[in-house]
Structure 1
Amino acid sequence: MRIIGMLLLGAFFTYSCTSPVQKTVDKKATWETLSLYTNLVKIQGKSILFGHQDDTSYGIGWTGESGQSDVKKVTGDYPAVYGWDLGHIETGCPQNIDNVPFEQMRSHIIEAYERGGVNTLSWHVQNPFTGGSSWDVSSKEVVKSILPDGEKHALFLEWLDHVAAFIASLKTGNGTAVPVLFRPYHEHTGNWFWWGRELCEKDDYLALWHFTVTYLRDKKDLHNILYVYSPDFVTGEQEYFDRYPGDEFVDILGLDLYHRGAEDSAGKFISDVNKIMEFLSRYAAAHKKAFVFSETGLEQIPMNKWFTEVLYKAVAPYKPAYVLLWRNAYDRPEHFFVPYPAHPATDDFIKFKNLPDILFGNDLPNLYK
């Protein structure tokens, strides 16, 4: 079945990927960026790319070792999607919020692209108003303060310049700008980040998103970015789109939703994901957008068959373009979301990997042509 599925997918891409056809937020988007977006739109509903946060930077029992990957150790293959976080880059720090050196991250992003993979960037940006972390929710003035005419606007411009410089530096040896999916101000439907729903006015959140896109695209002249909007749990379509920046400022519809509580809550998790993916797939089709499961997982994976009996059942009905699981921390033994060798869920993870509509690194067609 898997071989037949891959042959059909390969034929589909050989026929359809001669030129990008999708329109993106950026009318000047590079060929590779347009091609990636076109192919993500085409692949959704048919197959799902598997992704993992910080996959080649560290894992259980290791960090900073070239060629390493917990996913590869277990399955023999790299993921198709690689997640990275820019938190702390705004202050000029040489390493990110999880102690990944940005120089190393740059190398890993380029390597992932050259393997044919997809790179997505989140940004756990510090609180520019208080000096605290992303999780400092002590003030409701933060977003307003960084908008034009706000008291922290100049500082925030400096922070955006650091983000822009890093993204601009993502180039291959021949000068090709590596496409990235940028996912800022995520999970805003919750209230654990300073940009959360109850911590800023709707108009201010929208203004921040619009300003960020316009600044990076038009002022900093970056044309290798696709912009991802990713709320956390919502009860329905109206709530999901309540603070939607608009089709002209969003390329990809995302969802961040974790499975919490193991077996007792598995059915609810599957049902919630199905419900949200239904209207995301419908909206994406009508508006020619991509939709993804931008962040998920079950910490420590206490269910040995979680991948085939929970995650797959959650994503299979609508098949988002990719699903990305969170990281395997090297310095927090309890904080991991992908099996490592000898973990009880390894067999099920391999079975999940071998499903005909789940794609890892070696399964990828050329997404950039």
Structure 2
Amino acid sequence: MKLAAQMITGWLAIAFLSSSCAQPNALSDASATKETVNLFKKLNKSSQEGYLIGHQDDLAYGVNWKYQPGRSDIKEVTGDYPALYGWELGGLEKDSPVDLDSVPFTLMKQYIREGYQRGGAITISWHGNNPLTDKTAWDPAPGTVASILPGGPKHEVFVQQLNKIAAFLADLKGSKGETIPVLYRPFHELTGNWFWWGANSCTPDEFKQLFRFTVNYLRTKKHLHNLIIVYNTSGDFKTEDEFLQRYPGDDVVDVVSFDTYQYKSPDVDKSFADNLSKNLTIVEEVAQAKHKLPALAETGFSQIPYPNWWTGVLATALQNRHPAYVLLWRNAGYKPSEKVTEYYAPYKGQVSEQDFIKFYQLPQTLFEKDAARLKLYK
């Protein structure tokens, strides 16, 4: 039934397609692997039908469980896995066996292979330690970025961090030995002020240099050609110029995106839905002009207390929009230090469960069965 609805949606998208004068047609990496090129092209095509729904750390843990083979809170609600899996490499740069969210890197590789083999897509972010202060990514010390650029006193420290990230990405292999494509999201929420690469910690030019050095190093020095590069701001921009103020160049970017979250009840605060729709309009216009893919790289509503949030708010805000994917943040479960249970996707019995099933049934929401049908890598 959902497939039939999607076919109808595909026909309705013809007008959008025919009116677009600049659709994405090539990755910024001319040496990208076949599977990576195919994923980019398929995401461009599938975005006219709908958007992939993703979930951070979906296979690793959920509410009241951890590291149980085959489990997924989203699957237990819908009978289907998400189409996109988000993962985090923070901790790898300091040789930790687990990431910032306590996921063992050995297990993470296994989960990435499982999702890929079933036809899902993979996106990875990296909250690396501050190379200048050796504190966390949330240490926005001024001068950090300047110190790690070529010629800076901490440049080699940063290069050694990158080498460890590159080794992990290179080791992601499919069943035929092919390197698994990754939507790689470096320096995310770059316009915020909470990370060492943020807007108050470096100039726009310094950030652009850092981004360009990172991408070119991974390509030319580490020979990684399985990366689709994601430029990812926070959701605080009002204009195209603001969104692009730190944009590093078309030759090192493939996806343009932003992060935004609901914080207050949508009954009293409509700003989340309004800003999401406006910002995605801006990002889609940028994507079309620059031959890139638009995406909503992170979103959600912690604990989803509003029963109809999925269809009444999120899907409504995304109506007539064409992001390639939408990533929901993680179901961290109970956090003893904060005495709170954190989750951004429903689990069995959660108040928004039934509405999420309706959200799943919408023709424009693409989950893993849809991704498998689309054959993203072929």
Spell out the pairing of 1:10-29 with structure 2 (5 A cutoff). 22-29=25-32
1:101 has 2:132 as partner: no
> In the alignment, is the contact (CA less than 8 A) between 2:166 and 2:222 conserved in 1?
yes
Match of 1:358 in 2: 365
AA at the equivalent of 1:216: L
Q: Deviations over 1:172-192 (max 9, x none)?
A: 232011000110111111101
Partners in 2 of 1:308 and 1:38 — Cα distance? Answer: 28
> In the alignment, is the contact (CA less than 8 A) between 2:53 and 2:327 conserved in 1?
yes
Q: Deviations over 1:127-158 (max 9, x none)?
A: 11111111112x20111111111111111111
Spell out the pairing of 1:316-355 with structure 2 (5 A cutoff). 316-332=319-335, 333-355=340-362
Secondary structure of 1:197's partner?
A: coil
1:125 has 2:128 as partner: yes
Q: 1:267 to 1:103 in 2, by over 3 A?
A: same
Match of 1:227 in 2: 229
Match of 1:83 in 2: 86
Q: Deviations over 1:242-279 (max 9, x none)?
A: 00011111000111111111225652111111111112
> In the alignment, is the contact (CA less than 8 A) between 1:179 and 1:225 conserved in 2?
yes
CA offset at residue 334 of structure 1?
2.4
Match of 2:190 in 1: 188
Q: Deviations over 1:46-93 (max 9, x none)?
A: 311111000000000111111010000111100001000111111111
> In the alignment, is the contact (CA less than 8 A) between 1:266 and 1:310 conserved in 2?
no
Partners in 2 of 1:263 and 1:10 — Cα distance? Answer: 31
* TM-score of the two chains, using structure 2 as the length reference: 0.92
Spell out the pairing of 1:205-284 with structure 2 (5 A cutoff). 205-233=207-235, 234-264=237-267, 266-284=269-287
AA at the equivalent of 1:367: L
Partners in 2 of 1:170 and 1:10 — Cα distance? Answer: 33
Q: CA RMSD in A?
A: 1.6
CA offset at residue 7 of structure 1?
4.0
Match of 2:173 in 1: 171
**Same amino acid, percent of matched pairs:** 44
Partners in 2 of 1:55 and 1:124 — Cα distance? Answer: 18
Q: 1:162 to 1:283 in 2, by over 3 A?
A: same
AA at the equivalent of 2:103: V
Partners in 2 of 1:357 and 1:38 — Cα distance? Answer: 18
Secondary structure of 2:102's partner?
A: coil
> Which ranges of structure 2 fall in alignment gaps of 5 or more residues?
13-23
CA offset at residue 8 of structure 1?
5.5
> Which ranges of structure 1 fall in alignment gaps of 5 or more residues?
13-20
CA offset at residue 287 of structure 1?
2.3
Q: Deviations over 1:152-208 (max 9, x none)?
A: 111111100000000000002320110001101111111011111011111110000
Partners in 2 of 1:311 and 1:266 — Cα distance? Answer: 14
Q: 1:367 aligns with which of 356, 365, 376?
A: 376
AA at the equivalent of 2:283: L
Spell out the pairing of 1:145-156 with structure 2 (5 A cutoff). 145-156=147-158
> In the alignment, is the contact (CA less than 8 A) between 1:259 and 1:265 conserved in 2?
no
Match of 1:72 in 2: 75
Q: 1:111 to 1:239 in 2, by over 3 A?
A: same
